[in-house]
Structure 1
Amino acid sequence: MTAATRKFVFLTGGSGFLGRQLITSLTGAGYSVRALVRSAQAATTVQALGAEPVSGDLDDMAAMRGGMAGCVGAIHSAAKVGGWGPWEEFLRDTVQGTEHVIAAARAAGLPRLVHISTEAVLADGQPIIEADETRPLPQKPNGAYPRSKGMAEQRVLAANGDGLATVVVRPRFIWGKGDTTLAPRLAEAARRGWVWFGGGAHRSSTCHVRNVAHGVILAMERGGPGEIYFLTDGAPQQFRDFIGRLIRTQGVEPGERNAPLWLADAMAAVCETAWSLLPLQGEPPLTRTTLNLFFREVTVRDDKARQQLGYRPVISVDEGLRELQAAIR
């Protein structure tokens, strides 16, 4: 393939868990990737995966505009993730960062932009049950992360048109091989003494990182302008069964300790108050955002992605768990 015929895709967040898989999946699908990087370490990471590093960050309009030049599309994966932190950081990294990506895309004449969102945009403190893309965003989002991701998503959808087609994908609970955050943190929590708040019998949708990448590529190629698509592994899992199996892939037993959900609600409120008033370091051990996205039902429907994009999971939950366990061994 010559330089003139290569299909380039611009990617933000390329050195992260999802970003690394996106590079692998995109190159496997015949695309060439230019990945925005903020450090030499990130540049080394994306280069090792076959992507061309573009030095800069979400404030560097010139770098993004140059990286997007000649691309068939861009995938915006970068954001501030977490259940806690100053609102100013969420606003800067997630909302304003997305605004800068949109502006650079327009300046570069980019035809398509896919934005990686999340089911958390629907979080309002109540269970999310069998939600589809028609469910409106809550008036009072449950935390800075859901609020900022919802605002970013709104910016992307509002930007659709005038030569730029924008598409939003919402994967739920990204997991899989290569995760250096979620599974290890769950394993560490189990070592300290895992508690099944509410018993853990509720259901949860999930989406393996390879399924997410597959769905994102389909959205870039076939997604309707201004549309939103949920992505999942298929049928929801019982939370206790899935998380227990996920923790065991790390060589740890989660145990059988249970506690009522009302106690978790009280603990989260106390933790957030303490971390707000006192000079405590790090994140609280439990926040209302984390509690509601983990220990209450969160199930979403991916019918629209299946019907409009032809989306089907490329790896099953059982296969993904076996892969994780083999990686640990």
Structure 2
Amino acid sequence: MSSSTLFLTGGSGYVGRNLIRRLCGDGHTVHALVRSDAAATTVQALGAQAVRGDLLDPGIAQAMSGCAAVVHAAADTDHRNASPTQWRTNVEGTRNVLTAARAAGVPVAIVISSESALTDGTPLCSAKEDQPYPARAPGTYGASKAEAERVALSLSTPQFAVKVLRPRFIWGRDNTTAMPYLLEAVRSGRFAWIDGGDYLTSATHVDNVCEAVSCALQRGAGGRIYHVTDGAPVPFRRLISAQLQAYGEEVPQKKVPRGVLRAIVTVDDMLRALRLPLRAPMTRQEFASSAVEVTLDDSRARRELGYRPVVTLEAGIAQLKQQAYG
């Protein structure tokens, strides 16, 4: 897609900030939806134009008029949230954004989803895009992402091509989502490797997410889902250890049996069912995301979008070290 005007949701978030850098760098004009002064300041400093509004505001269609594409990156990614607000943000927010885009005559929409739409707490190995959704989602986040995908695909038409990207474990510089919590867990002594952490995982550097969005703006079919990864899976322990070391942290050696954590998440399920204010140290959603193998086959994105990772694990770790030490 040649230089054009794009409408972005979630622009002040981790993925959104990096998308603004990439898309503006590619010559696009980015209109970023914001709800606060702080968010407006963030996106404007990166080169985007702030547009006041809300995911659930039907009036945002007017702000999308004349845009060549919508990139929907906004989401509530809290793996411990089980409230109706997460469902409203992830499902109804997606519905409203895409309905508004279609009404505004925008021809293309890119939706950033998650592999969590497919996980249920059992290993997910080399999963392709047609992997069925689980009969029982591990939490509100996974359930809401699966339903948001269904909504997105149902709104795709020949005149409005909706393409869904599914990255897994987004990581890299400027990470304000998972990394702060990981570092806090390590520094407090609460972090432990689940069964040693040697099971495989796919991961997606944030620059590779941005590359996939760029590819999807130009190629690919509407009504399709595309897995996006860094390439070959790596052991979970290797991925996390390399990031911790890049931040100057000593890699923990503590281990915990997977069976113990399964018991813990069962307790958390009981606490939620009884509507008690207590919470176990790990939720079933967190277990599904980090305690078992989760690997994706990204061959469809390579074949149909022309996607190729632009950052390797080694290069991404070098970026983290540069960020940490200047």
Residue in 2 aligned with 1:9?
6
Distance 1:287 1:180 in 2: 21
SS at match of 2:215: helix
Distance 1:162 1:317 in 2: 37
Counterparts of 1:99-248 in structure 2, within 5 Å, are: 99-161=95-157, 163-193=159-189, 194-248=191-245
Cα pair 2:35 2:53 within 8 Å, conserved: yes
Residue in 2 aligned with 1:21?
18
Shift of 1:67: 2.1
* From 236, 247, 250, the counterpart of 1:250: 247
Cα pair 2:267 2:280 within 8 Å, conserved: no
Residue in 2 aligned with 1:297?
293
Query: Structure 1: 5+ residue runs without aligned partners?
Result: none
Name the aligned partner's letter for residue 23 of structure 2.
L
* From 78, 87, 110, the counterpart of 1:82: 78
Shift of 1:204: 0.3
Cα pair 1:27 1:50 within 8 Å, conserved: yes
Distance 1:246 1:89 in 2: 32
SS at match of 1:75: strand
Distance 2:87 2:252 in 1: 38
| 1:315 is aligned to 2:311 | yes
Closer/same/farther in 2, CA of residues 201 and 6 from structure 1, 3 Å limit? closer
Counterparts of 1:275-290 in structure 2, within 5 Å, are: 277-280=275-278, 284-290=280-286
* From 258, 261, 267, the counterpart of 1:264: 261
Query: Structure 2: 5+ residue runs without aligned partners?
Result: none
Residue in 1 aligned with 2:55?
58
Distance 1:274 1:212 in 2: 36
Distance 2:268 2:322 in 1: 36
Cα pair 2:163 2:216 within 8 Å, conserved: yes
Distance 1:312 1:327 in 2: 24
Distance 1:204 1:313 in 2: 16
Distance 1:278 1:119 in 2: 29
Structure 1, residues 66-86: CA drift from partner, whole Å, max 9, x if none? 221111100111111111223
Distance 1:176 1:19 in 2: 13
Q: Percent identity?
A: 42
Distance 2:12 2:68 in 1: 21
Shift of 1:272: 4.3
Shift of 1:250: 2.2
SS at match of 2:317: helix
TM-score by length of 1: 0.94
Distance 2:268 2:143 in 1: 20
SS at match of 1:230: strand
Name the aligned partner's letter for residue 275 of structure 2.
L
Cα pair 1:184 1:250 within 8 Å, conserved: no
Residue in 2 aligned with 1:36?
33
Distance 1:31 1:317 in 2: 28
Structure 1, residues 23-48: CA drift from partner, whole Å, max 9, x if none? 11111112110000000000000001
Name the aligned partner's letter for residue 277 of structure 1.
R
Structure 1, residues 109-132: CA drift from partner, whole Å, max 9, x if none? 110111111111001221110001
Distance 1:264 1:86 in 2: 19
Shift of 1:269: 2.3
Distance 2:268 2:250 in 1: 26
Distance 1:311 1:78 in 2: 22
SS at match of 1:277: coil
SS at match of 1:136: coil
Cα pair 1:14 1:37 within 8 Å, conserved: yes
Distance 1:74 1:43 in 2: 18
Count of paired positions: 322
Distance 1:292 1:286 in 2: 10
Name the aligned partner's letter for residue 257 of structure 2.
P
